[in-house]
Amino acid sequence: MHVDWRVRANVVCAVCSACALVLGCQSGAVSPPTNPEPAHAEASPPGSDGTPDPCADLLGCDGCVTDTRCEWCAGQEHRCVSKSAQRACSGLKLTALPHCINDPSDPAAKERKAVEDRLGVSLGDMTPEAPPIPGRLENFSGVVHAVERGRCYFMVATLAPDAKPGKAMTHFSWRTNTESEGSVGGPAKPGQMLGSGRFCPLSGGTLRFFFGDLTGPAKQSNGTGGISVQVFSQPISAAELGAMEARRAELMRKIDEMPADCDGYSYDCGNDRDSCNRDCFRSSHDAERRRCERTCEQLERDCLRRFQRRCGY
């Protein structure tokens, strides 16, 4: 029997296709999808794969943390980096504008540290209210700074190294709408830095630095040379402000309850001691004068103890 070669070829192809299908199922082979999804590589942090860090060109802590993508490394790196890079900093990692005062290169931090080192005080997080005000002692009339409730202040006066202070005494004074006026002061020396101390008013007023004579007629005796004055400040919390008001109210209550002669008793006791010491100088013998002076000191201590028991402080 004669079979057409074309029929024989079709049968062979059909058998081969069936065998391929069976073998494929038995081996577990899966046909690839007709439209495969492209593979996505995981995103790398900026700078890790050679891509430029968008924060690298930002200079200074203030300019860095203003961009929410960035943070400032205040340690040895001293640079701005992306938060997404999750880099470890050798020093502090600053992420908000109020943090920048902790950057050693921050101008406010440098000024604050210079004051702390020279005066031996801590200014905390205080920052300069404004640049220093320069002047000359020859015509220095003083500097007045407005203060407000809810902030603490520290005024600094610095004499130039070549300054020659006169006989006038230095004074820091404060006056507010609700509190008693107060002041601190003393003599001045060339190159000296003077501080007012921390002042936290409970109402608006002024903080002032000036020169003045303690006694005698008014006269110009400030001296010669340069001087500069600067004010540092910081806000305080409502809780701290409330605690200050409570302490002041308690102090005023105690003062109101005191007998009239309790006000200024230490001054009276000191006057009694001075009067006693003047009598001691009438003695011609050193040993006798020293015994007299010791007696005067004892009289002053007795006077102070008596008032302290009576007045309660």
Same domain for 154 and 182?
Answer: yes
Residue 293 lies inside a defined structural domain of this protein: yes
Contacts of 297 (CB under 8 A, 6+ apart): 273
* CA 158 vs CA 195, 209, 260: distances in Å: 9, 11, 41
Kindly state whether residue 23 falls inside one of the protein's structural domains: no
Enclosing domain of residue 209: 119-241
Domain count, the chain: 3
Same-domain check for residues 136 and 232: yes
Q: Which of 71, 79, 100, 77 is nearest to 90 (CA)?
A: 77
Residue 94 lies in a domain: yes
Please check whether residues 169 and 271 belong to one and the same domain: no
**Looking at the domain assignment, is residue 3 inside a domain?**
no
What pTM, to 2 d.p., does this model score?
A: 0.54
- Residues 124 and 201 placed together within one structural domain of the fold: yes
Q: Are residues 123 and 233 in the same domain?
A: yes
The predicted structure's pLDDT at residue 227: 93
Cα–Cα distance, 21 to 27 (Å, whole number): 10
Do both 82 and 160 map to the same domain? no
Give residue 15's pLDDT.
41
Look at residue 134 in the predicted model and tell me its pLDDT.
93
In a domain, 276, yes or no: yes
Please identify every stretch of the chain with a pLDDT value under 50, giving residue numbers as ranges: 1-3, 5-30, 39-43, 216-218
